[in-house]
């Protein structure tokens, strides 16, 4: 049961590549060495890349309440076909993930329909309204809860965020912050740059993000609590995080694939699939993200997979909801647009998809002997086009339809169980 041999793997292990065989017995990795012989089913990978499967610490599964956009099944199936073995769902469901009853219901749904290891955050404040804290001390005891986030809304009250961080410090949990100062918002839909001006659209300024980051980091100095910045998009945020890490604060941050690949220069025809929050920023902001990834200021890539139904997204850009899907094709896009263009090393991308988020969330993200097999297999030379018919999500809101990529998934092994996507 779940025993097989992977021959001639190009394995990413201990932050470097090795050409080895991998023996998996009863779902556990029992040998990693050259020239293993065994009578179990054998797959010759012929040098295909193998890594610990990916961890997405920022996914919107939409269930309960918004199953017309996505379900736990369809969202985690997208993750499975993207090489992910673990996802963490955001709390902005209906009802909101802000009490023990809703979280218990979510756990039952995950047991029934989850295709990968699936966790959730609790909200920081009840119903994401920023007025009253959730019962953090009791919620954190639930094993499916990995932290607290009001993602989708920034916590506007300084006092409320101060109290949340104090309590998070007391219970040794993490605040995963959507940083957005609503006093800086004026109904914008894209970055406050030249594209917005040229198309007479209201822009979203950079201060709406970095002002809250600056505020939060001052609070972290006081409580020394674990703190993570979601979907960094501005050069100012990168520099704030860089300095905070130099100061020894227990902080981290993530960038999304779309912010690492696209800028406002890539927006076409005011299409709503280029509308996300935070927005696609300037070339200078994009370069700061690349620099931050390369110098380890940003050690996590998280997709912010945000599905919307066709009729919701198919509106003028001013009226469409924010967000795009991204979990199924995150790695091929990153490989094609960053690695193959020599902007970022493959090793850096893999670390940001595995050990980076694992460290932040205190999960396992390394390939090790004696552990359950959690591995993804990609053919880096295989070229393909992102087609609507291949998308596993219920939604198709992505600007990358029709885009040619390299790095096709061959198989994903989650807790020892292998799912083959291509013939091996």
Flag whether 308 is marked binding.
Answer: yes
Q: Can you name the residues that pair with 252 across neighbouring β-strands?
A: 228
Residue 15 assigned to a binding site: no
52 belongs to an annotated ligand binding site: no
Is 99 catalytic? The answer is no
17 is in an annotated binding site: no
Is 286 annotated as contributing to ligand binding?
A: no
Q: Is 231 annotated as a binding residue?
A: yes
Annotated binding-site residue? 384: no
At residue 8, what are phi and psi to the nearest 5 degrees?
A: 55, 50
Nearest to 155 by CA among 183, 123, 130, 127: 130
Burial class (CB in 10 A: 0-12, 13-18, 19+), 417: middle
Tell me, rounded to whole angstroms, the distance of Cα 322 from its chain centroid: 16
Which 3 state secondary structure label does DSSP give 374? coil
163 carries a ligand binding annotation: no
**Angstrom distances, CA of residue 164 to CA of 92, 161, 261, 329:** 18, 5, 33, 35
Q: Is 60 annotated as a binding residue?
A: yes
**Residue 100: partners with Cβ closer than 8 Å, 6 or more residues away:** 135, 138, 139, 142
Give first-to-last CA distance, the chain, whole Å.
19
Check whether 151 is labelled as a binding-site residue. Answer: yes
From 304, 319, 381, 389, active-site residue: 304
Strand-by-strand arrangement of the 84-89 sheet: 54-59, 84-89, 117-122, 145-148, 174-177, 226-229, 251-255, 300-301
Instruction: Please give the Cα distance from 309 to 5 (Å, whole number).
Output: 41
Rg (CA), the chain: 21
DSSP assignment string, 31-60: EEESS---SS-EEE-TT-EEEEPEEEEEE-
On whether 304 is known to bind a ligand per the annotation, the reply is: yes
Residues contributing to the annotated binding site for substrate: 60-62, 92, 277, 308, 322-323
Residues contributing to the annotated binding site for Zn(2+): 58, 60, 151, 178, 231, 304
Question: Which residues are marked as active site?
Answer: 304
């Amino acid at each position: 049961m779940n025993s097989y041999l992977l021959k001639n793997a190009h394995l990413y292990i201990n932050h470097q590549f090795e050409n080895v065989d991998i023996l998996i017995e009863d779902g556990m990795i029992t040998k990693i060495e050259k020239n293993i012989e065994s009578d179990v089913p054998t797959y010759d990978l012929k040098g295909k890349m193998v890594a610990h499967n990916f961890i997405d610490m920022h996914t919107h599964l939409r269930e309960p309440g918004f199953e017309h956009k996505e379900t736990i099944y369809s969202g985690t199936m997208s993750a499975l076909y993207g090489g992910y073995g673990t996802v963490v769902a955001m709390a902005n469901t209906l009802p909101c993930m802000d009490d023990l009853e809703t979280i218990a219901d979510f756990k039952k749904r995950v047991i029934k329909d989850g295709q990968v290891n699936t966790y959730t955050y609790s909200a920081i404040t009840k119903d994401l309204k920023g007025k009253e804290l959730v019962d953090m001390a009791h919620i954190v005891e639930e094993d499916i809860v990995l932290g607290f986030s009001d993602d989708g809304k920034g916590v506007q009250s300084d006092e409320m965020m101060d109290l949340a961080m104090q309590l998070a410090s007391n219970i040794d949990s993490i605040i995963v912050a959507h940083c957005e100062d609503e006093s800086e918002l004026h109904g914008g839909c894209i970055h406050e740059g030249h594209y917005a001006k040229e198309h007479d659209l209201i822009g979203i300024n950079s201060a709406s993000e970095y002002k809250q980051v600056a505020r939060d980091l001052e609070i972290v100095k006081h409580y020394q609590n674990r703190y993570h910045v979601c979907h960094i998009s501005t050069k100012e945020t990168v520099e704030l995080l860089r300095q905070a890490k130099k100061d020894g604060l227990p902080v981290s941050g993530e960038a999304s694939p779309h912010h690492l690949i696209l800028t406002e220069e890539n927006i076409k025809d005011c299409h709503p699939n280029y509308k996300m929050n935070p927005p696609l920023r300037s070339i200078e902001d994009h370069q700061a993200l690349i620099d931050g990834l390369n110098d380890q200021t940003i050690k996590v890539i998280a997709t912010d997979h945000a599905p919307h139904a066709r009729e919701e997204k198919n509106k003028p850009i001013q009226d469409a909801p924010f967000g795009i899907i991204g979990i199924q094709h995150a790695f091929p896009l990153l490989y094609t647009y960053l690695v193959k263009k020599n902007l970022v090393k493959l090793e850096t991308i893999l670390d940001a998809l595995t050990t980076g988020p694992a460290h932040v969330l205190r999960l396992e993200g390394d390939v090790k002997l004696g552990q359950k097999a959690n591995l993804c297999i990609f053919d880096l030379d295989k070229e393909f086009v992102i087609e609507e018919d291949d998308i596993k999500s219920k939604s198709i809101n992505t600007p990358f339809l029709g885009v040619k990529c390299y790095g096709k998934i061959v198989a994903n092994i989650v807790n020892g169980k292998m799912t083959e996507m291509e013939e091996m």
